A and B are shown apart, each in its own frame.
Chain A
Amino acid sequence: GDSVTQMEGPVTLSEEAFLTINCTYTATGYPSLFWYVQYPGEGLQLLLKATKADDKGSNKGFEATYRKETTSFHLEKGSVQVSDSAVYFCALTKGSNYQLIWGAGTKLIIKP
């Protein structure tokens, strides 16, 4: 069945470091791909999305490119800040009802 695999956390970086959080997926057809972020004590919010191959989603300095050939949607940011500390979830949609299939989440810790 459809699934999403993310790199395990926590990922710990220093401020201004380059960030990559890996996400790969298994799915039939052409799913849409998402990154959601959960800041401490809050619910999830959509960070970015891409709906077809080679699309690049971007928001708040984060980027991810939909790579169908490698079935990947890695999240990147050139220079992280302490305020980026959060849990990041990769997800894809399934079926005409747009149900989301979730990765396990990756906790990101940014140290000043």
Chain B
Amino acid sequence: DVKVTQSSRYLVKRTGEKVFLECVQDMDHENMFWYRQDPGLGLRLIYFSYDVKMKEKGDIPEGYSVSREKKERFSLILESASTNQTSMYLCASRAQGETQYFGPGTRLLVL
């Protein structure tokens, strides 16, 4: 069965902290994605990765960076967290087809 896991379900951080969100998939998928989900805005793509060490900016990359050192793991980094980064963060992975498989999400609160 397909499985995408995220390191935390809930996270509370302070403004200016460096934040790491981890995502792991066990399906040997090449493509991985980070989205943020906000009410009324749907999902917005932050970054995606086609392969190990490869990354591409999505629609809203500002304030974020990513790391993909191993195929199964895709990390989202908030270099200096700000209150406007309070959101639900969703990770997804995909093989060569079109269907994306999502993790359960991390709800981040920045105080």
Contact = CB atoms under 8 A, between A and B. Distances in A.
Interface of A: 32, 34, 36, 41-46, 49, 51, 89, 93, 97-100, 102-105
Given A32-B98, A43-B104, A93-B98, A102 B90 contact: no
Contacts of B97: 98
A2 B43 CA distance: 15
Interface in B21-78: 31, 40-45, 48, 50
Contacts of B45: 99-100
Given A43-B90, A44-B90, A89-B42, A100 B100 contact: yes
B27 to A, nearest CB: 14
Given A42-B104, A43-B4, A43-B103, A104 B98 contact: no
Interface residues of chain B: helix, strand, loop or mixed (majority): strand
A97 to B, nearest CB: 8
B99 interface: yes
Contact of B42 (A41, A51, A93, A102): A102
Contacts of A44: 43, 90, 92, 100, 102
B15 to A, nearest CB: 27
Q: Interface range on chain B: under 10, 10 to 19, 20 to 34, or 35 or more?
A: 20 to 34
Report, nearest first, the 5 A-B pairs whose CB atoms are least far apart. Answer: A43-B102, A102-B42, A104-B42, A44-B102, A102-B43
Nearest to B58: A99
B13 interface: no
Contact of B98 (A41, A42, A43, A49): A49
Given A99-B45, A102-B43, A104-B42, A49 B102 contact: no
Contacts of A42: 104-105
Contacts of B92: 43-44
Contacts of A51: 98
Contacts of B40: 104
A98 B94 contact: yes
A44 B91 CA distance: 10
A100 B31 CA distance: 13
